[in-house]
Structure 1
Amino acid sequence: MTGLAEARNDEERAELIEAGRLLFARPCNFFYAAQKSDQLPEPGLPEVAFCGRSNVGKSTLVNALVGQKALARVSQTPGRTRQLNFFNLADRIVLVDLPGYGYAKASKDMQRDWQGVMFDYLRGRPNLMRVILLLDARVETKSSDRAAMELMNVAAVAFQIVLTKADDVGPVKLAARIKEAEALAREHTAAHPLVLVTSSETGQGIAELRAEIASLAA
């Protein structure tokens, strides 16, 4: 199935949105966690991974997508999540919540440990269809975000930029942030051209992100 960027008209776009709604209306369950590279589950269903800086809202966004409040653990302390969490969605696709990167207060050893397994996963997972790279709409792109993009670009791992927390940004600043994200996407051959804007609070962009993920499902 093609994604929203390839939709030729409003009818095709509506069909993609509906496919996403139907997929995410089905059961989604946690089934595996890994803290080390040698603990990863055997590759199987297509996987879509959620990647971003600590406190960007990864777990909150996963919960909003599946319509559950506590499927993905939302830590009150940024940088606490140190494992890859795997969720089976309707036996059609696996959602992977990756550890946050770039948390300044974490020790260097701690950052190396949990970010190392995350990057090992990104580089070597054969069934990884796309990484959803989350950028906070309220702040400028950080060096750690750019480093993640470069890693995925060099490793030829397809990624799509998704802005989070759009409800907390004024329209002028948000427009500038979208323009910046689109420019970043054009700079990286591994980046998907469509930048999505989301808010887990208002539901903005959730239907569109569901549609994009549904287009990658088995």
Structure 2
Amino acid sequence: MPASLTEARTEEERAALLEAGRLLFARPCTFFHAAQRLDQLPPARGPEIAFCGRSNVGKSSLVNALTGQNALARVSHTPGRTRQLNFFDLAEGRLTLVDMPGYGYAQASKSVKADWQGLMFDFLRGRATLRRVILLLDARIETKAGDRAAMELLNEAAVSFQIVLTKADDAKPWWLEQRRKEAEQLARKHTAGHPLVLVTSSETGLGIPELRAEMAALAA
């Protein structure tokens, strides 16, 4: 089976990837650990995929949509509230999902921002089981300086990342297409960038099967 939707050459291969994603995320997913410092990380045990993005970009909502559990990841209406790495076990060890602290919240103190960046980089650089980072960008607004800085950080850490646009249901079609093309250009500028940009909505389910398929290809 191809390792990505970009490698699928036939409709049968694409359908097989989508079905593998559906089956994986139909399995139980449970929270099992939280870490605010590097020495609090759980032992590495299998493939991990982390979710990274600006505060209030919709990370928790996307995790909930992927797993079909409305309250698995805590959705906060206060940007910048999540200040730890949250670990979720999917399908009894086949894949670990990691919800990373949001970045770029204007009202967060400089010391807190520095701590977040330090924790993220140390985690990214030293986690041998980390297969990919899903970098979330808000489809409704332009790419921020913090988003570009995150790409540079991921590139420096030599961690593969895939850009996923969120909240697509609240964006005009012409703007959404412009955002997708811009995201593809940004990915191409980084050696760690994955070529496939996915457009998603946690509200309508747009792009959720495709993202599940991409993640299932990385599972044990």
List 4+ stretches of structure 1 deviating above 6 A: none
Residue 84 of structure 1: CA displacement? 0.3
Unaligned runs of 5+ in 1: none
Residue 122 of structure 1: CA displacement? 1.1
Match of 1:145 among 139, 144, 147: 147
For 1:85-96, list aligned pairs within 5 A.
85-90=86-91, 91-96=93-98
Alignment of 1:36 onto 2:26: no
**1:165 is matched with which residue?**
167
Match of 1:105 among 107, 116, 130: 107
**1:62 is matched with which residue?**
63
Residue 123 of structure 1: CA displacement? 1.4
**1:12 is matched with which residue?**
13
For 1:46-61, list aligned pairs within 5 A.
46-61=47-62
TM-score scaled to structure 2, two decimals?
A: 0.97
Letter in 2 for 1:41: P
Aligned-partner Cα distance in 2 for 1:3–1:176: 23
Aligned-partner Cα distance in 2 for 1:154–1:110: 21
Match of 2:203 among 201, 204, 216: 201
Aligned-partner Cα distance in 2 for 1:58–1:16: 23
Letter in 1 for 2:89: N
2:201 is paired with a residue whose SS is coil
TM-score scaled to structure 1, two decimals?
A: 0.98
Number of aligned residues: 218
User: For each residue in 1:76-122, what CA deviation from the matched residue of structure 2 results, as whole angstroms up to 9, or x when unmatched?
Assistant: 10000000000000120000000000000011112222332122111
Letter in 1 for 2:161: F
Aligned-partner Cα distance in 2 for 1:179–1:17: 23
CA RMSD, Structure 1 to Structure 2 (Å): 0.8
1:201 is paired with a residue whose SS is coil
Aligned-partner Cα distance in 2 for 1:154–1:33: 25
Alignment of 1:186 onto 2:188: yes
